[in-house]
Amino acid sequence: MTQDKQVRCLLVANIFPPIHGGSAIVYASLAHFAPAGSMHVLAPWKHYMNSQELKDWRVCDSAASYPITRIELLRPPMVEGNPMSRLESAWRVMTIDLPLYLKVLKEVASIIKREGINILCIGELASSSWIGVACKRLFGIPYINYIHGEEITIDMPYRRFGQKRREYLHQADGVVAVSEFTTQALVDLMGVPREKIRLIHNGVDIERFTPTPPHTDILDRHGLAGRRVILSVGRQVPRKGFDRMIEAMPAILAECPDAHYLLVGEGDYRAELERLASERDISDRVTFAGTVSTEDLPRYYQSCDLFVMPNRRMPDGDTEGFGLVFLEANACHKAVVGGRAGGAVEAVRDGENGLLVDGNDPAQIAAAVTRILKDDNLRTHLEDRGLERARASSWQVQTQRFQDFCHQIVNARLTP
């Protein structure tokens, strides 16, 4: 019998720590909790959005328990301004894009040879799947696409990104979906055979996110002593529903005068959120904490009374693929309020670990928040069930499922 091959996976990820975000956490967790020697990461040391060097990336890599190879960029940098003409676009491809692609492919080939890689996991569908296709053709190595949701539900009209999504998914040897919602979208929108898809929900690091009493220094930092803290964590973009939460705050304050809304994270939508708070004369009841350290993030969850992210589906199809933040809050023994949209309905079981609302309706959001804050029995029930659910969804469990999927694909051609 042919010897069983062990997984030697190269994870290719544009969005990777020290970059913040749900997908970065997912990829870092897949590598961190994997068996020793089974995962190698290829990531950039510059951010493609602005071509700026990532702050503290060397510190991040030195602390990692798995090998990371950094390259300047994995994809061409974004171009702001007016759309390019065909001639300008062709010139950019020849002078910037193709040389970068060749550099990336050379680095990938070197890692494959040096590390004995036998499977690739592609973190960004539209921008990085070409690497999987190339390695499959050149080296006979299979690849997996890891799909969160928004990368297939959102409209992508650009010629170079978006139109090849279906082709990449059909050429992949396997596809990971983080929710049943994402699984169904892959089938319905991209025509991916269901048997090719493996559902692996996002997990949570239950050793890092744990129940503790509130931290006085966190509350004092933002002047929140004696307040009922309602927390949101995430990139400040419209789909997260932070604007609707701010619109709900006056009604919440009418029922719970000691409530205070604390937002952790940054994003292009922050100016609009600040405007909404000012317009409703509640700027003193809404605090923008900005980006917080990796060490402090669990302490913010532990210091709140309730976690809220009333996500919604946007007109262009942008929506939440799962909602890792709900599990993180649950793991810290906190009840949650989420939007009834996308994969969040799988992260938040209505009446079990939290409440679901219409993320477009501030009145529903206010009603759910005040109900939990005023009903101690309900809040305790949601907190206890949420903690149980989070502990059953640890990254140790989900990483093993990913490893099993990789193992299945790597050994698919082995015969007695």
Q: Nearest to residue 280, comparing CAs of 256, 248, 328, 326? A: 248
Examine the domain organization and report whether 153 and 271 are in the same domain.
Answer: no
pLDDT the model gives residue 1 = 42
pLDDT value at residue 320: 87
Residue-wise pLDDT tens digits, 129-145:
999 999 999 999 999 99
Query: In 3D, which of 114, 3, 111, 17 has the Cα closest to residue 61?
Result: 17
Position 2 in a domain:
no
Q: Are residues 279 and 178 in the same domain?
A: no
149 and 247 share a domain? no
Q: Does any domain span residue 208?
A: no
pLDDT for 88 equals 72
In a domain, 3, yes or no: no
The pLDDT value recorded for residue 157 is 54
- pTM here is 0.85
243 and 281 share one domain: yes
Within 10 Å of residue 386's Cβ, how many Cβ atoms?
Answer: 26
Ranges of the chain with pLDDT below 50: 1, 158-159, 415-416
In a domain, 280, yes or no: yes
The DSSP 8-state label assigned to residue 331 in this structure reads H
Instruction: Please state the φ and ψ torsions of residue 167, each to the nearest 5 degrees.
Output: -60, -45
Question: What would the 3-class secondary structure string for 360-383 be?
Answer: CCHHHHHHHHHHHHHCHHHHHHHH
On whether both 198 and 286 belong to a single domain, the answer is: no
Residue pair 337/245 in contact (Cβ under 8 Å)? The answer is no
CA distances from 36 to 12, 33, 60, 143 (A): 18, 9, 18, 20
How far apart CA 137 and CA 152 sit, in angstroms, is 24
What integer pLDDT is reported at residue 4 of this predicted model?
Answer: 83
The reported pLDDT for the residue numbered 416 is 46
Same domain flag for 139 and 251? no
Q: How many domains does the chain have?
A: 2
Q: What average pLDDT does the structure give for the chain?
A: 93
Q: Where in the sequence is the domain holding 233, given as residue range(s)?
A: 216-391
Going by C-alpha positions, the residue among 9, 119, 113, 114 that lies closest to residue 412 is 119
Is residue 137 domain-shared with residue 229, that is, in the same domain? no
Regarding whether 129 and 49 lie in a shared domain, the answer is: yes
CATH number at residue 31: 3.40.50.2000
CB 407 within 8 A of CB 176: no
* Residue type (1 letter), 29: S
